[in-house]
Amino acid sequence: MKFIIVLLLVLVQVKHSSAQIEYPISYEKPVVSNYHGFDIVDEYIWLETQENESVVDWIESQNKISEKYLKRQVAQHHTDEYMNKYLYSSFGDFDGKLKRNIDDDYFFSYFITSGSTTPSLFYKKGVHSRYYMLVNSTSISRKDKIDIDYYKISKNNTWLAYKYNRNGSDWHEIRVVKIDKKRHYLNVLKHTLNSGIYWWNDGFFYKKYPFDSINATYKKPTIMYHKVDTKQEDDQIMFKSYSDDEDISVVGTKDESFYMVKRENTKTEIYNYYLFNPLRENIKLGFSPFLINTKYDLNFYKATDSLLYATTEINDKQQLISIDKEEPTKFKLISPSYDNYELQNYEFLEDFIVASYHSFNGSFLVKFDYQGKVLNECVLPKGLSVTDMYYSNNYEAFFFYLSSYTIPEVRYRLNLETFKYELVSETNVNFDFKNYKFKQDYYTSSDGTKVPIFIVYKDSLKQDKSTPFLLKTYGGYGKTNIPSYNPGIIYFIENGGAFAYTHIRGSGGFGKKWVTDGQRLNKKNGIADFISAAEYLIENNYTAPKKIAITGASHGGLITGAALTQRPDLFGSAVINVGALDMIRFENFTIGSAVTNIQEFGSTKNLADFNNILSYSPYHNINNTINYPPTLLVTGTDDNRVPPFHSYKFAAKLQNVPSQKNPILLWAKDKTGHSGANTRSVQIKEYNYIYSFLFHQLK
């Protein structure tokens, strides 16, 4: 037995000597699972138990090898110097941008203090006063990385409830502080996920889940009411979900005039709504049926004495509607509808609403009254998108932000009378963005469908097959891609490359059919679109197969992984970031079995879904006869949205492919979740590693 183990070690080292990387041994321990009479053999299920000592050692060994390799590339290409320079510009206008967080006389902002790696929450009263620390992130924990990412102030500005996560986890905790006295209450509310905070009187509503483990599925939430300075176990249960097929949520308004609970049956897609109107119900806590057994998924935002305002899908588009409180089955459409444009942002003012619309062709702003009459419109510069908008009572002005892949957020003031805008604060960048150009085009996918693609380059786009290309997508859940600044893209372009983003089927912004054509049994359409995007770039002589780098995160990581395993001949390098890669076991953990994911991918419990998932699941389609392109897998050890074992198993299997000569690296960031880097130093390192790896392999 000892001889066999030694021989195995020698074989593993010899096998990878040509790649000049000696990977840690990834033992094969086959486990057989039967699906619909079909046996699936999985050699690396043991890597799913991250707490196991052998897995911990394996991850540490992988990180050691990967960081050594990546640091060498960063030094070779001086990536750190570039990334520090380009990343700095994305932090411009920091204080001004945070004027969004205005609450009457109070201003709130995040600052990193000496000795801390994550921001703390500060406040000031009045425009001209100084900031004082309200919540110190290190006082919550010096061991964990604390990210305070949400807060709500009570109606009378007495209390502030803030929500934070540890190490990037989706699980949150909530605490309360009395603002004027800076009194911190000791009670901690735990086990919250995707929860808002909605104050009423001396307490607030929030959403809580049962908690079994970090990888447990998210089922059966509860709507709770918490009173300040009481224990969580004393919180009042307002609504409880008794079925795995039921989800519940709560919303409320800042003025504490109304609250709504939504109860959704995820299997039948039937919705029930329950209203608590304190003004009308004499301040007695309790919810009454409002709209029962409807097919409309409503998201409420504003209330008046007689009307409620919400968004819902009508004619395959998200629309703003008003609802009569006395006759809730009567809806009135109030937002204008534009062909091929999607409602993106909206801000309710006293007499009218300002909204932004976005499409592949550009963005524009619209002003309309509460009856739906358009009062004004203005077109925004092409290639830029609206990332936020708000009205400031203190400045009596309306502000919005524009950004693109190559320009960080810049703030504009909109004149609500003339509907003309002016630049307020410009972000300084360390490169000449005026030399950057973009091209919008359509290419033909494998089944004849025309798919939009957005290309960014510098000076000119050569057609001599010489340009390194970075190709990216997300392509899931009907999510619309809004161009946002990325210093890695600047690094890539400034070093002679070009960037392309393709809006594959499954993306938002192109109608309901475009979304459904990339979901569930149609998921392979989006993968085919992504592959066809690479073929389009090659056929137009912009680049060559080995000069295309592909990358994607989360759902985009799935698309990248599927394209890599299906057409490895097209690509020169790949980075898969927090990607969903083992789609057969995806629904067994965390949010995998949530209704949004079953709608997106289907369930292996269904035979047709199982066969479809198996046909494209990246982990299950690795071919032992292929030498796959150089690939870097990035994940976070505390990612409980797409658990890190997806990346672990995919890396182990690729590294053990007999034909694999190109490097396969795994970098698992400690104390980091699905959203990636949670400190500036790790953020810079992440950009350095990803973009130096992608670019180095193409060179």
CB neighbours (10 Å) of residue 397?
14
Residue 367 has pLDDT above 90, yes or no: yes
C-beta of residue 498 within 8 angstroms of C-beta of residue 468: yes
- Predicted confidence at residue 9, as pLDDT, reads 36
Q: At what angle do helices 523-539 and 555-566 cross, to 10 degrees?
A: 60
Give the end-to-end CA distance of the chain in Å, rounded to a whole number: 45
CB–CB of 76/68 below 8 Å? no
8 Å CB contact between 43 and 653:
yes
Dihedral (C-alpha) 441, 386, 94, 98: value to the nearest 10 degrees? Answer: -160
Any residues with CB less than 8 A from the CB of 670 and at least 6 apart, and which?
637
Lowest-pLDDT range of 282-286, 388-392, 421-425: 282-286
Whose structure tokens read 């000496």? Answer: 114
Supply φ then ψ for residue 234, to 5 degrees: -95, 0
Is residue 485 a contact partner of residue 406, using CB atoms and an 8 Å limit? yes
Q: For residue 580, what pLDDT is reported?
A: 97
Q: Letter for the amino acid at 427?
A: T
Mean pLDDT, range 23-48, rounded to an integer: 96
Q: Is the pLDDT of residue 18 over 60?
A: no
Output the pLDDT for position 213: 60
The pLDDT tens digits of the residues spanning 395-423 come to 789 999 998 998 888 889 999 999 999 99
Residue 319 reports pLDDT greater than 90: yes
Please report, rounded to a whole number, the percentage of residues in the chain having pLDDT higher than 90.
Answer: 69
pLDDT on residue 569: 98
SS3 273: strand
Residue 99 pLDDT > 70: no
Write out the two tokens for 295.
């097919």
Q: Which residues contact 34 (CB under 8 A, 6 or more apart)?
A: 40
Structure tokens at 450: 């025309």
pLDDT-derived band at 85 (thresholds 50, 70, 90) equals confident
Question: Of 224-228, 337-341, 650-654, 663-667, which range is least confident?
Answer: 337-341
> How far is CA 320 from each of CA 314, 525, 692, rounded to the nearest angstrom?
9, 31, 44
- Both tokens of 552, joined, read 């994607």
Count CB-CB contacts under 10 A for residue 288.
10
Is residue 30 over pLDDT 80? yes
Mean pLDDT (the chain) is 89
Task: Read off the pLDDT of each residue in 523-540 and give the average, rounded to a whole number.
Answer: 98
For Cα atoms 416, 418, 424, give the angle at the middle one, nearest 5 degrees.
65
Angle at 498 between CA 550 and CA 579, to 5 degrees: 20
Beta-carbon-side half-sphere exposure of residue 382 (alpha carbons within 13 Å): 9
Compute the distance between CA of residue 84 and CA of residue 78 in angstroms, rounded to an integer. Answer: 11
Q: Is the pLDDT of residue 447 over 70?
A: yes
Q: Does the pLDDT of residue 430 top 90, yes or no?
A: no
**pLDDT for residue 425 is more than 80:** no
* DSSP states of 632-674: EEEEETT--SS-THHHHHHHHHHHT-TT--S-EEEEEETT-BT
C-alpha–C-alpha distance, residues 118 and 138, integer Å: 8
Q: 200: closest CA among 244, 245, 261, 259?
A: 259
Task: Name residue 553's beta-bridge partners.
Answer: 577
Read off the pTM: 0.89
Single-letter amino acid, residue 574: A
* Nearest Cα to Cα of residue 576 among 593, 563, 594: 563
Three-state DSSP at 373 gives coil
Token pair recorded at residue 540: 């137009």
**pLDDT at residue 14 is higher than 50:** no
Q: Are 650 and 617 in contact (CB under 8 A)?
A: no
Binned at pLDDT 50, 70 and 90, residue 305 comes out as confident
CA distance 554 to 27: 27
Mean pLDDT of the 284-311 span: 92
